[in-house]
A and B are shown apart, each in its own frame.
Chain A
Amino acid sequence: GAGVSQSPRYKVAKRGQDVALRCDPISGHVSLFWYQQALGQGPEFLTYFQNEAQLDKSGLPSDRFFAERPEGSVSTLKIQRTQQEDSAVYLCASSLTPGGFNEKLFFGSGTQLSVL
């Protein structure tokens, strides 16, 4: 596709429910990142994939958060037993080169998660 696509656009979950957020990166992009953006703040790093390998998951806030990219293209961010503090916009980004080193990062429009 022309850009990074994320779905759903909005997700409302009851506290304790599991959610799955999908990201379709730009075709051919090797690097994929997930960021969390709280209201009124800058994006914060969650995790990074190079193809199907998850090379950095240092930003995942708890073991309730899990991300995968099994075939090196589409990625899913899963949050188990959602809590109110998980409410945020979840942004996916991709870049062309391995490691994204000095390479431009393209963001999707995000999934806005609201946990009630």
Chain B
Amino acid sequence: KNQVEQSPQSLIILEGKNCTLQCNYTVSPFSNLRWYKQDTGRGPVSLTIMTFSENTKSNGRYTATLDADTKQSSLHITASQLSDSASYICVVSAGRTTDSWGKFQFGAGTQVVVTP
């Protein structure tokens, strides 16, 4: 079973609207969680990284939240633009006391399409 689950699988939003993507994980112990944006035909680009003690982090119109107790993260896109159309991938890194330290667990991604 995948240790990182993302939802929704895809979504279509109107330009200018907001949207929220979800990431639930079971990776334990936890080291950090990153959100990446991957444009079609390009490599993933990091948006935010959060460690255990961080609850929220922003990068421009992107705001990520983390609830380490419930093992949930969200990525909120504010005032979406056409250039936000991409796949958004949640990646969780395992902590040092586990055999999987150094392992990165990938979500399947959420495909976002912003329409005019």
Asked if chains A and B come from one complex, the reply is: no
Binding site for B on A (CB under 8 A): none
